[in-house]
Amino acid sequence: MGLLDGLRAVLGIRAESDAKREADPEDLFGMSTAYLTMEADLGYRHVGAGALCFSGVDSSSFRDTVEDVEAILEAGREDTGTDFHVTEDDHGYRWVVLEDDDPEDLITSLHFAADTFVERGYGSRLLAAVFGYENEKGPAYWIYSFRRGAFYPFAPRGGRERDTNVEFKLESVLDGELEVEPDKEYWYPLWPSASGRHPWE
Give the closest residue to 108 by CA, choosing from 133, 139, 87, 129.
129
* Domain assignments of the chain as residue spans, ordered by start: 3-186
pLDDT confidence of residue 11? 56
pLDDT confidence of residue 89? 85
pLDDT confidence of residue 57? 87
pLDDT confidence of residue 187? 96
pLDDT confidence of residue 4? 45
Bridge-partner residues for 151, per DSSP? 144, 180
pLDDT confidence of residue 177? 95
pLDDT confidence of residue 2? 39
Q: Are 58 and 140 in contact (CB under 8 A)?
A: no
Cα–Cα–Cα angle for 49, 111, 147, rounded to 5 degrees: 95
**Mean pLDDT per 10-residue segment, the chain (201 residues):** 46 50 84 96 96 92 95 88 91 92 95 94 94 95 95 92 96 96 94 85 87
CA–CA separation, 177 vs 127, rounded Å? Answer: 22
Checking phi first, is residue 188 left (phi over 0); if not, alpha (psi -120 to 50) or beta? beta
pLDDT confidence of residue 79? 84
Give the closest residue to 13 by CA, choosing from 66, 55, 75.
55
Judged by DSSP in three states, 148 sits in coil
pLDDT confidence of residue 18? 54
Q: Are 127 and 55 in contact (CB under 8 A)?
A: yes
The pTM of the full predicted model, rounded to 2 decimals, is: 0.88
Bridge-partner residues for 131, per DSSP? 50, 142
What is the architecture, at CATH level 2, of domain 3-186?
2-Layer Sandwich (3.30)
Judged by DSSP in three states, 125 sits in helix
